[in-house]
Every structure is written in structure tokens, then in C-alpha cells.
Amino acid sequence: MLIAITRAVSPAIDRCELTNLERLPINLERAIAQHHAYEAALRSLGIEVRSLAADPGLPDSVFVEDTAIVLDECAIITRPGADSRKPETGSIARVLAPYRELFRIQAPGTLDGGDVLKIGKTIYIGLSRRSDLSAIGQVQEFLVPFGYTVCAVSVHGCLHLKSAVTQVGADVLVLNPAWVEKAAFPGLKFIEVHPSEPYAANALWVGETVIYQPVFPKTLGSLKVAGMDLLLVDQSELGKAEGALTCCSLIFKI
């Protein structure tokens, strides 16, 4: 059985952290409606959604993925790179504690879950403005007993590794080659985003279904040609906060 931890959109979302985007007005009502549709999509795939209450003191807290890495064997509570986001981890740790043994990233390391891409027993971690080598080394120490390999990946031009690449099949990635090198992922196949849609590399693969955004029609066309089973969910309002599909849930087996 799969469970998804989500959190309602903070009424302070307009004060979110921004790194690569110009600040634009965020329609809170529309953001909430789109997030509800996202949770409904997860439920339609048979996932039990546990939605936490909105936190008006934590503008970015809807992006729960950044607070933890959840694997079958354990969970790692991160130490987000933005100071305003560090308080988000406490409530997530309490939610995860009944399900997993917990490890915690310690200072001075910083790590956002959006920089973590798991493919089989390999954990790729982006070296970004939010995640550093100290944290990557800690993750490696935590996961060696469980047989994982941890690989650092250079990321440039975007917020997180999963802004640049995500998994859409057992051996297939959707990728923006301007932001991350294909050579970092040996033995895998690639669907490149259309050059006019640089933010189109974020997709959420659940079972045999790829949750994807309709706002990237050209890359969507490539996914259709590749035969993907697609479920379309618009997260464009949270995209103004540098959010995407993978950001808004922590999905794991129980």
C-alpha cells in the first residue's frame, strides 16, 4: 500500500523563497484548488493521502518533498538550504516516525529533497544552491548498510536536480540537457524537454502512471509518443513559487 504525505497550501505562499524566478502574484484560491486536484489524482491511483494542515508561518511548507527522503528501509530528515524552511522538518519527522527509522542531516550540511532522485538502488543528489557535499556525505554514510550507491550530480541554471530531471519509466528519464548532463545517468534512456519549455522535466511517476502538467504541451507530446500512461494535473500556480509535481508529496510504501 502507498501513502502520500501532503500539506495544505500556506496562506503566506506569496512570501515563498525564490532563487531563479521573478516574483509574480500567486492566486491563493487557485493554488489551493490545484493542490486539491493533485491530491485527488493521487487518490485516483489508489494512494492513501494524509494531508497536514496549512502553516501560515511557513510559506513554502506545501513543498513537503524537501523535508525528507523516504526509502523502504529508512527515512532521512533533511536540513533545507533556505533558513526559512528549516522549521518545516519537525512536523514531518513526527509524521514519519511511526513508519520508518529516522536519520537526520546535521549542520553544516544542507539538503533539499528536491535534489534527490532515486533510481533503483542509486541515489542521485544534485549539487545546487540548496544541497552540498557535507549533506551528500552524510546520506552516503546512512545508506551504505542498505546497499545504496550515492552519486553527486552537478546542477546549473535551476533550483533542484528534479527541476532538471525526473524518472518516467523503469529506465527512462525526462531531462533538460541545459541544466544537467545526460552522462550523469549512465545506462538510462532520455526524453528531452522541448527547448521552449525549460521547466518541463518534472514529472511524478507512480506505478505505471506519469502525472504531468498540461502547461508543457510540446514535451507532453513527446511523452505521448513514447507511450506513457499520463494523468494531467495543473500545478502552474505553485510553479510561481518554484514548485512542481514531485515537490508536493512524500510517497512511500507501508
Closest CA to 203 of 159, 240, 141, 248: 248
Cα atoms in the Cβ-side hemisphere of radius 13 Å centred on 111? 29
Closest CA to 254 of 39, 76, 71, 92: 71
Q: Specify whether 74 is catalytic.
A: no
Residues with Cβ within 8 Å of 80's Cβ and at least 6 positions away in sequence, in order, are: 66, 67, 86, 88, 89, 110, 111, 112, 130
Query: Which class for 133: exposed (0-12), middle (13-18), buried (19 or more C-beta within 10 A)?
Result: exposed
Torsions phi, psi of 70, nearest 5? -115, 115
Determine which one of 35, 160, 194, 248 is catalytic.
160
Strands 209-212 and 204-206: antiparallel
Q: Specify whether 247 is catalytic.
A: yes
Which H/E stretch holds residue 249?
none
Distance (Å, whole) CA 90 – CA 135? 18
Strands 149-154 and 68-70: unpaired
Determine which one of 16, 158, 247, 248 is catalytic.
247
Residue positions annotated with a catalytic role: 160, 247
